[in-house]
Structure 1
Amino acid sequence: MRVYIETYGCTRNRADAEIMEALLLNAGYELSNLDSADYVIVNTCAVKDPTEHHMRRRIKELLDGGKKVIVTGCLPHVNLKAIDGRVSGILGVKSIDRIVDAIELAERGERLVEIEQRSIDKLSLPRLLSGGVAFVVPIGEGCLNACTYCATRFARGVLKSYRPELIVKWVKEALAKGYREIQLSSEDNGCYGFDIGTNLAELLDELTAIDGDFRIRIGMANPNHVIKYVDDLVEAYLDEKIYKFLHLPVQSGDNRILKLMVRNYTVEEFEDVVNTFRRKIPDLNLNTDIIVGFPGEDEDAFQNTVELVKRVKPDKINVSRYSPRPGTIAARMKNQVVGWRAKERSRYLHRLRLSISYEINKKLVGREVEVLTHGQGKKGGIEGRTMNYKDIIIPDGPVGEFVRVRVEKATATYLLGTPLF
């Protein structure tokens, strides 16, 4: 029996896919390409309305093409009714350990649908380490926030942090397999450990003590949690094994909108975290997220966001247009912003973001930097990451190695360099 897994969305979904791959291989199934697969597992994302529509179209396309489909991921939790009734099984994010059961039942003409919030420790499950440069290590699942626009929490639930010793074990195993970059992932890395008496800074101290020449990329962390231990976290970041990369989502530059979102921090607190990091880490690569067109966002609120961006000057902004998600409080709010206005604001912020990013990247031209090479770039050459996680392309070079590079050219989204070997 041949199975193909098609994964969408975040790095958490990638890690879930590798767990399912290992479970299937251990049960005697063959992992194949799409064309020859007997079953296709669609590991879905449903963070935004357009993403959900894409998932629905893709599932229908596969079914119409004669494929047997099992749906996993976030979509079953966010909008179960959106899933085509012809699928052979549906598993929630905390039921992926039953993927073999789902196929076996489907073969007998039965359909397994399980989306309950079970308690499973995914780091205790097997996982396929297929090789490469970067390895995703989930450090927890769920979060402590209740953002009014978010449907992901319906899928991932309340925070469950994984034990530090299991995280260390997986990092060591990945390094032994030749991986050079460890990506720490969860719905909110900022609150890691709050439920088990520790925090992200303490975890990083354990991970950087592991022998080997490798780098750690820390995923998204929300400001309301980071501010509680920001000094300790900055100290942990100073270790050479940590990429100087901070993904700190602000979502809005207006305190009234942040309150409507129930983000539990102010613009001023967000800036305090940024300034605390930048005082110790001048080359910090700051990424943030902004939602435009949230219900009640008037012109003054949007301008406050623009002014925040001009003050803070993030290296990158992930700009999203607000889209109502099923079951969320924000979907029922009055003063929904019309689509054309949200699109207009999104375009303006995107242009501003590119301008700021280019000015920051341009200052790197002529500098020599250390780069971890990742592999073939989409536009040719070898793609790599600098030690503050800037994307850089060099003409040629070894993959999975640290190389010295001179930055020759900058764009708003990546750098071009020459290796110095």
Structure 2
Amino acid sequence: MTKVYIENYGCARNRADGEIMAGLLLSSGYEIVEGEENADIVVVNSCAVKDPTEVKIARRIRELLDRGKKVIVTGCLPHVNPDAIDERVSAVLGVKSIDRIVQAVEYALRGEKLISVPDWRKRNLDKLDFPRLSPRGVHFILPIAEGCLNGCTYCATRSARGVLKSYSPEKIVEWVKWAIRQGYKEIWLSAEDTGCYGFDIGTNLAKLLDEITAIEGEFRIRVGMMNPNHVLKFLDELIEAYKDEKVYKFLHLPVQSGDNEILRRMGRTYTVEEFEEIVNAFRREFPDLNLHTDIIVGFPGESEEAFQRSLELIKRIKPDKVNVSRYSPRPGTIAAKWKQLPGWVVKERSRIMHRVRLQISYEINQRYVGRKVDILVHGEGKKGNVDAVTMNYKHIIIPRGEKGEFARAKVNGATSTYLLGEIVD
């Protein structure tokens, strides 16, 4: 039996694509293995959101080929920078061609090559129609849409994923019910931008959450990243949906810059003030809101004053976590054509922002010490400990706990990235 190893990179949305390909291969008689050592074919399910990631994946593809492995490349890289892919690969599939993975493997076994990236925009693929092979863990990744409605000048993902295609609420609800029957306790709603879910089919994320929380069973919902310009359109409705106990009080709301002119150059279509309006509205209802945001430093045209405004914003709103990215130009994007800042400037701004965000995260997490919190145990973590999450999705390390168990824990310590505690009766 031919053995296939799928190596996933990037976001949860991409990992879900990997699980779909695994499901299709398994149902066609192929064996899915962990690790490339025993695999006849390796599928590299790529990401292309940042230049360093692309370099890493291109190196990995060459390394596998040099070892004599047959390699199939899927994911975003074939759309964003196909030239980075070694010509020796057996197949290249775009994100809307993953249903051809079985055909790609058959080609590879015959020593032929399949390229299925051109004309991908003409394909109308509903990925909820395909089987899945998901790890038997606590959480289940559920794509609710593909593509987005934004036009960010720095982002190459839209050139890979296309414009918004929301999946039907009925199919999403059926998948949630299936996941709960399988024993999953946590549903990750995933998309390039969950905030615009449903805009193309006459609904929205809040309505979807209402349908999912009405499903019987003890489980939790983790909502993926949503952009501020879309959230503003149904803010009150979304906050109301978040009040259900099944929804983690976790909000990933990227701001990207604290300067309105830079936001305009980024094509972000909201202001710093509107971002803060959303944050404040959520925090009024959920004082323990776990707020994550994203910041890009070194964007073309970012002056020292603009960078300082980003720093001031982070110090003012105090997010629980800031994902700091150094701007790197991506092929085919508008911003790649603009004058770039010196690398040393970008690196220094990244270091400064990183120090600030770690200090803020540490101060916030220290406030949890001594408190008792409800948790969901994820399972074995590093160094023999057990990983769990609180009901606002803060990670807490505990000495013992049963995977999938809802429990009560006391927080005994904290770092800038996680809490430390123990289950109490």
Same-fold call, TM cutoff 0.5: yes
Q: Residue 417 of structure 2: which of 400, 403, 413 is its match?
A: 413
Please name the residue that 1:182 is paired with.
Answer: 187
Which amino acid in structure 1 is aligned with residue 335 of structure 2?
A
The counterpart of 2:289, out of the listed 254, 278, 284, is: 284
Structure 2 residue 44 is matched with structure 1 residue 42: yes
- Match of 1:138? 143
Q: Confirm or deny that 1:9 pairs with 2:10.
A: yes
Match of 1:368 in 2: 372
Aligned pairs for 1:128-207 within 5 A: 128-207=133-212
CA contact (8 A) 1:129 1:174 kept: no
Residue type of the alignment partner of 1:203: L
Task: Tell me by how many angstroms 1:374 deviates.
Answer: 0.4
Distance, in Å, in 1 between the alignment partners of 2:64 and 2:382 is: 26
2:403 is equivalent to residue 402 of structure 1: no
Q: Could you give the per-residue CA deviations for residues 124-177 of structure 1, whole angstroms, max 9, x where no partner exists? A: 111114421000000000000010000011111000000000000111100100
Say yes or no: does 1:387 pair with 2:391.
yes
Match of 2:382 in 1: 378
- For 2:22, the equivalent position in structure 1 comes to 21
Deviation at 1:106, TM superposition (A): 2.1
1:345 partner letter:
R
1:103 is displaced (CA, Å) by 1.1
Instruction: State the aligned residue count.
Output: 420
Deviations 1:292-311 (A, max 9, x none): 00000010000000111111
| Counterpart-to-counterpart distance in 2, 1:129 and 1:59 | 24
TM-score, length-normalised on structure 1? Answer: 0.99
Letter in 2 for 1:176: R
Letter in 2 for 1:21: A
1:53: Cα distance to partner? 0.2
> Is residue 222 of structure 1 aligned with residue 227 of structure 2?
yes
Specify the SS of the correspondent of 1:72.
Answer: strand
One-letter amino acid matched to 1:279: R
Q: Does 1:106 align with 2:108?
A: yes
Deviations 1:296-340 (A, max 9, x none): 001000000011111100000000000000000000012x11111
Q: How far did residue 36 of structure 1 move?
A: 1.1
What is the Cα-based RMSD across aligned positions, in Å? 0.8
Moved more, 210-219 or 99-108: 99-108
Which residue among 130, 147, 150 is the counterpart of 1:125?
130
- CA displacement 1:359-380 (0-9 Å, x = unmatched): 1111111110001010111243
Whole-angstrom distance in 2 between the partners of 1:179 and 1:415: 24
Contact 2:379 2:401 in 1 (8 A): no
Q: Distance in 2 between matches of 1:212 and 1:371?
A: 16
- Matched residue SS, 2:301: coil
Deviations along 1:374-398, one digit per CA (max 9) or x if unpaired, are 0111243100100000010000111
- Equivalent positions of 1:343-354 (< 5 A) are 343-354=347-358
Measure the CA separation in 2 of the matches of 1:113 and 1:185. Answer: 27
**Aligned 8 A contact 2:195 2:231 in 1:** yes
Correspondence for 1:32: 33
Matched, 1:89 2:91: yes
CA distance in 1, matches of 2:27, 2:144: 24
How far apart are the structure 2 equivalents of 1:402 and 1:415?
17
Aligned equivalents of 2:348, 2:131: Cα separation in 1: 46
5 Å-filtered alignment, 1:213-362, equals 213-334=218-339, 336-362=340-366
Counterpart-to-counterpart distance in 2, 1:150 and 1:346: 19
Give the whole-Å Cα distance in 1 for the aligned partners of 2:273 and 2:162: 29
- Quote the offset at 1:107 in angstroms: 2.3
Per the TM alignment, residue 349 of structure 1 is displaced from its structure 2 partner at its CA by 0.7
Alignment of 1:59-70 (within 5 A): 59-70=61-72
Q: What does 1:45-56 correspond to in 2, within 5 Å?
A: 45-56=47-58
What residue identity is the alignment partner of 2:277? D
104-113 vs 336-345, which deviates more?
A: 104-113
Partner SS, residue 135 of structure 1: strand
Q: Deviations over 1:30-83 (max 9, x none)?
A: 112311111000000111000000010000000000100000001000001110
Alignment deviations for residues 166-204 of structure 1 (CA, whole Å, 9 cap, x no partner): 000111100100000000000000000000000000000
TM-score normalized with structure 2 length: 0.98
In 2, the alpha carbon distance for the partners of 1:36 and 1:363 equals 48
SS in 2 for 1:311: helix
Fraction of identical pairs, as percent = 69
| 1:28 aligned counterpart, secondary structure | coil
Please state whether the residue corresponding to 2:384 is helix, strand or coil: coil
Judge which range, 299-308 or 123-132, deviates more.
Answer: 123-132
Alpha-carbon offset, residue 100 of structure 1? 0.4
Q: Deviations over 1:221-256 (max 9, x none)?
A: 000000110000001001000000000000000000
Q: What's the secondary structure of 1:228's corresponding residue?
A: helix
Match of 1:227, SS state, is: helix
